[in-house]
Amino acid sequence: MSKRLNLKERYKHMTRLGWETTYQSMDDVFPYDTYEGIKVKDWDAWEDPFRMTMDSYWKYQGEKEKKLYAIIDAFAQNNGHTNLSDGRYLNALKLFLQGVTPLEYQAHRGFAHNGRHMRGEGARVACQMQSLDELRHAQTQIHTISHYNKHFNGFHEFPHWHDRVWYLSVPKSFFDDARTAGPFEFMIAVGFSFEYVLTNLLFVPFMSGAAFNGDLSTVTFGFSAQSDEARHMTLGLEAMKFMLEQHEDNVPIVQRWIDKWTWRGYKVLSLIAAMQDYMLPESPMSWKEAWEVYFEENGGALFNDLARYGIRPPKYLEVCAAEKDHLSHQVWGVLYNYAAPAAMHTWIPDDRKLDWLSEKYPDTFDKYYRPRFLHWREMEKQGKRFYNGSLPMLCQLCQIPMAFTEMDDFTQTCFRTSEYKDDKYHFCSDGCKDIFDYEPEKYVQAWLPVHQIYQGNCGGPTLDDVLKWYQFNVGSDNFDYVGSEDEARWNDLQGKGEKPADKSAA
Ligand code: FE
Ligand code: ZN
């Protein structure tokens, strides 16, 4: 007697392949999914809303790959890079490849770990698929951007840089923290805060920025990843609702993770804020506008929905709201200062860009930031382009230099301290201090690039020693955009300027 299975039953038979172990106890087989204190009564309540089987997954992803690589090939053959809006745009791509692509790989590793260590089969299958997606994202980004590496500087050693260079320790430490947490915290950190709350602020402005600046290859990998993101966001949200529905004792744990990971994600986004307002020659929207649309409006609706579980919006949103008029300008100031130990170029915006910034930030830009940029521009004209020769104090938690000001006094650097076992630790904000104070044993171990340089662990005592240890091509990868090899190459492509040095000779 054969009976046709309906879709739901079929899905169940194809994905629920686990069993209750008998030779070994389930707790020995799955040692990590209880110690965080999350109580689960019924793992079967974890459902994949997409009901995707492995079989359909491979077919679907394979189709997407074919389309993506056809476009990337065409882009390379037609020298698509010559159609960019301006050579400065390349630096947004460098920051993405150095800072974000390695996070895709970290997400791949993290979800693979979760796909082994959660005892519910629905959760395991969903994590396994996301693990594969994230590996694909890392690969497609590397393949797409490798085209630019043939023509420009600052792309060549990105995995090496990710593990060492100071501004890249900001995104790296986010994922190191997530992957060394338990499996449920990882789901909130990456599946919820990063994918659901923050991805929109990274991917959407970056992709529309790519479109505005003529970078069709990046737009294509962005779209190809974005269709996976819909699944990831749903998984993150489902995982969180699952925890909240399984036991009321889970609510305060989840709330603390939401507070922590929203703040950590927000700090990583400060780099994106600077990229969006300063590195994109043509800007679709300002950082402030993106924050208002994607976080305040969309995030606000989400937290209204979560109120029924007893979840309130994340802590310190009022700080984010106050900072949105300042964040990108303060971060660009830091990147401009420290353009020597950076594998990308920075510059003083031209007048058209300064006016755009004044228009987008009417309350703050002309008052606080334009005069600073004009001062630096004046120094540059006199042949004294400002490169900060000192090393900044880093926040022990988010690893960003202490570059932010108090929101009620823009002349005061904002910093906080904590004492732990007779040592003093410094933080950029109350949000970072809170996270440290809850788990100091974890964060005293942080690998802070500046401290490591001072301790002599980064190649030697001079800047040249450190840049050599970073594997920078000094004078090619770093310093101001003006006068750089990239600028000369770009001008040559546009038919203006001297013939630049060939990339292969560098
Ligand atoms: Fe991804
Ligand atoms: Zn911090």
Q: What is the pTM of this model?
A: 0.94
Tokens of 129: 């698929």
**Domains in the chain: ranges and CATH:** 34-347+386-505 (1.10.620.20)
Distance 425 CA to ligand 2 centre (A): 11
Tokens of 425: 């630790």
Distance 366 CA to ligand 2 centre (A): 27
pLDDT of residue 503: 67
Question: What does the DSSP assignment read for 113-147?
Answer: HHHHH-S-HHHHHHHHHHHHHHHHHHHHHHHHHHH
Model confidence over 91-129: pLDDT tens digits? Answer: 999 999 999 999 999 999 999 999 999 999 989 999 999
Distance 108 CA to ligand 1 centre (A): 8
For the CA of 426, the nearest ligand: 2
For the CA of 427, the nearest ligand: 2
Distance 23 CA to ligand 1 centre (A): 37
pLDDT of residue 505: 45
For the CA of 400, the nearest ligand: 2
The amino acid that residue 321 corresponds to is A
Pairing mode, if any, of strands 423-427 and 409-413?
A: unpaired
For the CA of 435, the nearest ligand: 2
Distance 456 CA to ligand 1 centre (A): 35
Residues 6+ away with beta carbon under 8 Å from 280:
89, 92, 209, 212, 213
Determine the Cα–Cα distance for residues 506 and 503; give it in Å rounded to an integer: 5
Distance 265 CA to ligand 1 centre (A): 15
Distance 172 CA to ligand 1 centre (A): 15
pLDDT of residue 36: 97
For the CA of 175, the nearest ligand: 1
pLDDT of residue 229: 87
Handedness of CA 231, 233, 234, 240 (dihedral sign): positive
Distance 399 CA to ligand 2 centre (A): 6
Distance 104 CA to ligand 1 centre (A): 5
8 A C-beta contact, residue 405 and residue 411: yes
What is the number of other CB atoms lying within 10 angstroms of the CB of residue 311? 19
Distance 473 CA to ligand 2 centre (A): 30
For the CA of 229, the nearest ligand: 1
Residues 6+ away with beta carbon under 8 Å from 247:
38, 39, 40, 41
pLDDT of residue 2: 61
Distance 417 CA to ligand 2 centre (A): 11
Pairing mode, if any, of strands 423-427 and 416-420?
A: antiparallel
Model confidence over 183-194: pLDDT tens digits? Answer: 999 999 999 888
Q: Which stretches of the chain drop beneath a pLDDT of 50?
A: 505-506
